[in-house]
Every structure is written in C-alpha cells, then in structure tokens.
Amino acid sequence: MDKKKAKERIEKLKEEINKYRYAYHVLNKSLISDAALDSLKKELFDLENQFPEFITSDSPTQRVGSKPLKEFKKVTHEEPMLSFNDAFSEEDMKAWLERLENYLKTQIPADSTQTTAENSQRKSASSPRQSAFYCELKIDGLAIELVYENDIFVQGSTRGDGLIGEDVTQNLKTIEAIPLKLLKKEEVIKNLKNLKLVSTAEFLEKHWPKRLVVRGEVFLTKKEFQRINQEQIKAGLKLYANPRNIAAGSIRQLDPKITASRRLDSFQYEIVTNLHLKTHEEKHLLLKAFGFKTNPHNQALNSLEEVFDFRNQQVKRREELSYEIDGIVVIVNDNEIFQKGGVVGKAPRAAIAYKFSPREATTQVLDIKVQVGRTGTLTPVAVLKPVEVGGVKITHATLHNWDQIKRLGLKIGDTVIVSRAGDVIPQISQVLKDLRTGREKEFKMPQNCPIDNSKVVREGALFRCSNPKCGARHREFLKHFVSKTAFDIRGLGGKIIDRFLDEGLISDAADIFALKEGDIAVLERFGEKSSQNIVKEIKTRQKTSLSRFIYSLGILHVGEETALLLARQFSQNNSQKIIKPSEVGRFFQNYSLEKFQEISDIGPKVSQSIFDWFKSEKNINFLEKLEKVGVEIATEKPKAQSSKLKGFTFVLTGTLKTMSREEAKERIRTLGGEILESVSKKTSFVVVGEEPGSKYGKAKQLGIKIINERKFLEMIEI
C-alpha cells in the first residue's frame, strides 16, 4: 500500500473504530462484534506500525477504555491502567518476542546459568523463578482496580481512560469474590512460607504495606448470563448480547442493589504496589496468599512452544469453562525485565494478549466471480483478501444468489465482516459502508454464461445457463483436468469436485491451484488434516509435462497421442526446459490451420478443433489464469537428447521393474526412437521385462536384437 492510500485508510479506520467504541463504552450498545472490531483495530495497528508518521494521539490504538460517565466520582490511578496489544497467530507471537528482545538487547529467558545463591535455593524448591513467561486466561470482562488501606477495601474503580477511572466502590463491594478485608498478616506470612516464598515472607514481615493496590477483572458467568437473559425475556425486555455487556453495565449502576442482583464474579491478577517481587507468578501467589481470587489455570512456562501448547489447551477448555475467555495473556515473568520493557503506546512492551481465532473478521472483497454449478445455476462468490476466521485462512465466501448481494448492498472493493459460526462455511454478514472510498464497483450478474457463453435466464431468485448441458459438461471437464492422465491430482475425486463446485470454491480449473487450506477445512467432513493433504497434493502437481498439459486442456478430439505430437512441435522449436502456459498459447496461436494439418498423424477434423481452440480469447485467458496460479510446464525433451535413438524402433514386452510401460515409451520417444506394437523385421530392439509375452518368442524367431531392462536403461540414459 502506498503512503497516500495508507493515510486515507488510517483516517477511515479511526473514524469507524471510534464510532463503535463510543457506542459500546459510553452508550453500552454493541453495534459490531468484538472480534470484528478487533480485526479493524489490528489492521489500524499494523498500518500505523508500517507508517508511524500517521500515528496521532486520538488514534484508538493510543487509548484505553472510555471516558468516565459523569455520575460517578473520578479516581486517578497511581499508575496508568494499561491494556495489551493483540497477537492472533504464532507468527505474531514470534514477532512480538523478537521486537522485545531487540529492544531489551537480551534473550528471554535470560541466561539461567547466572543463578544467585538464593536463586538456586528457590530452584531446588521447584520455584517458578526460572520461567520465561507467565500465561493467564484472558477473561472477557471488565478491568478494575482495588485499593486496600490498613487491610480494608476502601476504593474500587474502573479503568476509564487508563489514567482516570470511575469510583465504583459500592458496586464492587457487592461482589463476593472481592475481599472487603485482607487476610491477617500472620496468615499471609504462613501462606507464603507454605509456598516456599521465604524472602517475600521475610520482606512482608518487616514492610507490611499500609496501602495495597491490586487489579483484576470483573465478569459474569455463562450461567448467570443465561439466567439474566431469561429474566429479560419474562419481563419482555431486550436481550443482552454477551456476558461482558452485563458485567460492564452492572458495574456502572448507580444503584448497588441492581449490581448485587447480577451476581458478578472477579479474579485478581496484578499487584501495583511495589513489594519487591521477582516474578509475575509470585504476584499471583501473593494475591492468593492475601485472600484474593486468582485463576487456577494460569501457568508459568518456559518457551514460546510451551505457550502455544498452553493456548491450544485453553482453546479446548474454552467451552467447558463457566465464564467466557477470548485468549490468553502472555507476560514476561521476570518483573525486572518487564519493567525495563516499558510502555509502547498504551500497552506494556513485555506482555501481549494472544487472542483466540475470532469467529468473525473484517476483510475486503477483491472481486465477485460467478460460478456455474452442476445444474447450470450461476452462483456469485466473493473473492476475499485472505483472512483468518475461526482458526482457518479463507479466501472465498459464497453469496448464494443475487438477492443476497442486494440485501447486503455489497460492492466489489467493500470492507465486510465475515463470520463463521461453528462448522458452517464462512458468510459475509455485513458491509461496512462507511469505509467506502468511492472506488467500489457495482456487481452485475452476467448476461451470458461464463463457461459456454449461452444466454443466462432468470428463474425467480436464481440465474441459470440456458444450455441445459452446460453445468454437467463443465463438471466433466474439471474431472478430466484433474484425472490421472491429465494433471493427476490424486485426492480430488468426482465427489470432491462436486463439493467444491457446490460451495463456490472453484469456478474454473485454474481456481483449483488457488485453493487455500482454510477454504477446504471449513467444509463439513473436511478436517484440518485432509485439507492440508489436498492443498499439498495440488501444490506438487502445479508443474506438469507439456503433453499432459495440452491433454488437460480438454481440446475436442485431442487425446494423449495428439497431445504428445503437439508437445513435440513445441519442443522442436524451443529449447527452454520450463515454460509458462501463456507461451504455449502464443506458440500455437501463430499456427495456421494448414500448419496443424501438416503435422503427420493429425487429421483435418482434429486440426480444425485445435486451431479453433487456440483462436478463442476465452481459452487464452484461461491459459493466463493458469499461469497466474503458478502452473509451470516442463518441456518433454531438451533438443540435444532428441536424436539419440533416431532411426531405431522398439517393441516392449513383459513388466519393467523401474518404470511403467508408459514412462518407457515416453523416454524412447523423447530420445527420438519409435514404438511399434508388434515385432517384425523392421524392429530394431525388443525390450524384455518380467514375464514377457509372445513377442519375446517372435523376436527370437526373427533374430531381432533382444535387450533386458538393465541394458535398456543404459541405452536411454544420456
């Protein structure tokens, strides 16, 4: 993206995000899902990273939370309440760690050989001192700060804008998970000693904090969420969109009785007061020792690999948990390093939220193509800028029919929300029209069929090719294209081709090579593994031989033998080893009908058919498309080899161990030799494999030179 366009996009994104933020945080209205909003924010964050000159102080990436509501007393936080930057993939996580290590000029974890005496003591007590990261579940709730003076809870506040929050002490007091008083000093010390945190216990013995500031999250359980929504139904009121909305709304109630009726819950995860703790994990242990509720699933881990495993475990755990989580938070465990990392924007450099794959994302519609189904129905399909939704990268979304496009008001170039619920294929659920630049294009259903150019007829909501055979023929062609003698894409059987056609994943054979794992993985009955295998298989078949390539094109009357003759024509006039599909097109486009006829063994009917094929603009476009998706062609034979067996004729009999009969024939032809079906006096050599047939006897009878496989291999070796 160039600078001008980036600036334009950044401005648009800022406005859009701000619109949703205001609605969500100030008005308590959710106009867009968090996942979709996150993906807009991520795009903005990435663009600003790329063009830091366009970062302004009013950018949503530079802000935390919302302005306090007027009704509540304001509370200035002693330390800003930061938020976390987001990562969505292992690559994002690796990039984060690399940035951090470069900034700190140190490896994480730091060299563990530099252990102090105290350190090794802790180590022997299996203390988590050495762990690189502390990983926490990212609870989908509301951040709060709690202040305790002389062990008594005196003030609780919301994050607000990160610097100034709202005093919601009365409301927080209604939450049973939040202690109104810390445990007694003796008990805390005892707890710490049980946890082998001896130095911390000794420190607190001497320096018990008069004022303790901690932070955590207020949330609503899934069960409570359901209960409250049931009540809303009974009362004929509007349903809440998610537990977080209720938690946030409840905490901001002016009447604490309403808050109390919501039965909120809370985990604490941070101690702001400096108690000279070495690691973030110790903070959690101490919080627990003080009597706070901490999350039992949090874990200290040693490497990013372990972090990835931890995250995957939590993805599985997500459904069973009694509350909503939307990712994990990864924090550099060593508090000293964490401090050194400082703050970037409004987030600590040494921590990151590793979000679960959102079930929604925003992306752009690059094109809308029309796919012809088995029954000849035309289905519009959106070609998307690749985006990850529900854990898989997708590039297509079916639009079902013309009415769907009208309902969405979709234009080519639009930014859209793509959502995927459960195992259903991805859908475009919303068009973000405010992000339009004016360069978007209207989509029109074609008047002629993209396959055979027949007239398109409309039947209610459906558009159909007027040629009843069109869809079935198209399907047959696709099956031919991937068949064993053509591109030989194993694993793409007729049923799978049908499925891809039905879902709009492919509209022509070239689309096969553009398939992404995610496109397939979202289909029912296709797992991650099988889609990986299919894509891998397709990739290995991207390169093919020239004769196979010509045969695959499905030119009328052109079988394998004719394809071979055409391939030879090309090779005799070209010395390149690797060629592109369009070069084949250009080469044969220059052939006159007579020139095709001059090729021996090609009759007039076949010549006409080949001539017509290469004259069609549609076919030439198809060749270009194949080139774009990476199809490469290896020419049959470099010229220098072509005459080694010239003038010799071969008959094959029996089974060869090292190659198939087809391969042997191809090899002989490549070297200029000729294959004969039966033995005669004209035969130069009879190649005899295992269990030879009657040809062997005939050869002996006629005194023809007989060679075994080893000898044959020597002969065809260059």
Distance in Å, CB of 374 to Zn ion, minimum: 12
Three-state helix/strand/coil letters over 654-665:
CECCCCCHHHHH
Three-state helix/strand/coil letters over 561-575:
HHHHHHHHHHHHCCC
Closest CA to 323 of 251, 266, 260, 261: 266
Q: Is 449 one of the annotated binding-site residues?
A: yes
Q: How many helices (H) and strands (E) does the chain have?
A: 28, 27
Q: Is 205 one of the annotated binding-site residues?
A: no
Distance in Å, CB of 628 to Zn ion, minimum: 23
Distance in Å, CB of 582 to Zn ion, minimum: 25
Strands 299-301 and 133-139: antiparallel
Binding to Zn ion in span 81-100, by CB under 5 A:
none
Distance in Å, CB of 372 to Zn ion, minimum: 6
Residue 454 or 533 having the CB closest to Zn ion: 454
For residue 268, the cross-strand partners are 216
Q: Is 7 one of the annotated binding-site residues?
A: no
Q: Is 465 one of the annotated binding-site residues?
A: no
Which residues have a Cβ under 8 Å from the Cβ of 487 and sit 6 or more positions away?
481, 541, 544, 548, 552
The token pair at 68 is 């306090």
Residue 452 or 674 having the CB closest to Zn ion: 452
For residue 633, the cross-strand partners are 544, 579
Q: What is the separation of C-alpha 336 from the centre of its chain, rounded to a whole number of angstroms?
A: 35
Helices (DSSP H) in 148-278: which residue ranges? 169-173, 185-194, 198-206, 222-234, 243-251, 256-261
Residue with tokens 């009969």: 661
| CB-CB contact of 280 with 192 (8 Å) | no
Residue 305 or 612 having the CB closest to Zn ion: 612
Distance in Å, CB of 377 to Zn ion, minimum: 10
156: left (phi over 0), alpha (psi -120 to 50) or beta: beta
Residue with tokens 């980036």: 6
Distance in Å, CB of 453 to Zn ion, minimum: 7
Residue 444 or 682 having the CB closest to Zn ion: 444
> Long-range contacts made by residues 582-590, C-beta under 8 angstroms, separation at least 24?
582/620, 582/623, 582/624, 582/627, 584/546, 584/549, 584/550, 584/623, 584/633, 585/614, 585/619, 585/620, 585/623, 585/624, 588/614, 589/614, 589/615, 589/620
Which residues have a Cβ under 8 Å from the Cβ of 460 and sit 6 or more positions away?
none
Binding to Zn ion in span 437-496, by CB under 5 A:
449, 451-452, 454, 465, 467, 470
The token pair at 73 is 């007393």
The residue count for binding Zn ion (CB under 5 A) is: 7
Cis previous bond, 109, omega within 30: yes
Residue 179 or 450 having the CB closest to Zn ion: 450
Residue 464 or 541 having the CB closest to Zn ion: 464
Distance in Å, CB of 457 to Zn ion, minimum: 11
Alpha carbon of 120 to those of 113, 124, 132: distances in Å? 10, 6, 16
> Long-range contacts made by residues 654-662, C-beta under 8 angstroms, separation at least 24?
654/688, 654/689, 654/690, 654/691, 654/692, 654/693, 654/696, 655/689, 655/690, 655/691, 656/687, 656/689, 656/690, 656/709, 656/712, 657/689, 657/690, 657/709, 658/709, 658/713
Q: Is 458 one of the annotated binding-site residues?
A: no
Burial tier of 421 (Cβ tally within 10 Å: 0-12, 13-18, 19+): exposed
Residue 502 or 674 having the CB closest to Zn ion: 502
* Side-chain half-sphere exposure of 562, counting CA atoms within 13 A: 20
Distance in Å, CB of 606 to Zn ion, minimum: 25
For residue 412, the cross-strand partners are 441
Residue 451 or 550 having the CB closest to Zn ion: 451
Distance in Å, CB of 313 to Zn ion, minimum: 50
Looking at residue 442, the DSSP 8-state letter turns out to be -
Q: Is 470 one of the annotated binding-site residues?
A: yes
Strands 649-653 and 632-634: unpaired
| CB-CB contact of 170 with 253 (8 Å) | no
The b/e string for 502-537 (b: 16+ C-beta within 10 A; e otherwise) is: bbbbbbbbbbbbbbbbbbbbbbeebeeebbebbbee
Residue 54 or 477 having the CB closest to Zn ion: 477
| CB-CB contact of 287 with 268 (8 Å) | yes
Helices 581-589 and 604-615, interaxial angle, to 10°? 120
Distance in Å, CB of 476 to Zn ion, minimum: 13
554: left (phi over 0), alpha (psi -120 to 50) or beta: left
Distance in Å, CB of 409 to Zn ion, minimum: 28
Residue 383 or 470 having the CB closest to Zn ion: 470
Q: What are phi and psi of 626, to 5 degrees?
A: -60, -40
Residue 554 or 638 having the CB closest to Zn ion: 554
Distance in Å, CB of 464 to Zn ion, minimum: 9
Binding to Zn ion in span 634-693, by CB under 5 A:
none
Rounded CA-CA distance 378/375 in Å is 9
Residue 501 or 645 having the CB closest to Zn ion: 501
Active site residues: 138
Q: Is 54 one of the annotated binding-site residues?
A: no
Binding to Zn ion in span 550-579, by CB under 5 A:
none
Which element (helix H / strand E) includes 271? strand 265-271
Binding-site residues, please?
83-84, 136, 159, 217, 355, 449, 470
For the annotated binding site for Zn(2+), the residues are 449, 470
Residue ranges of the annotated binding site for NAD(+) are 83-84, 136, 159, 217, 355
Q: Which residues bind Zn ion (CB under 5 A)?
A: 449, 451-452, 454, 465, 467, 470
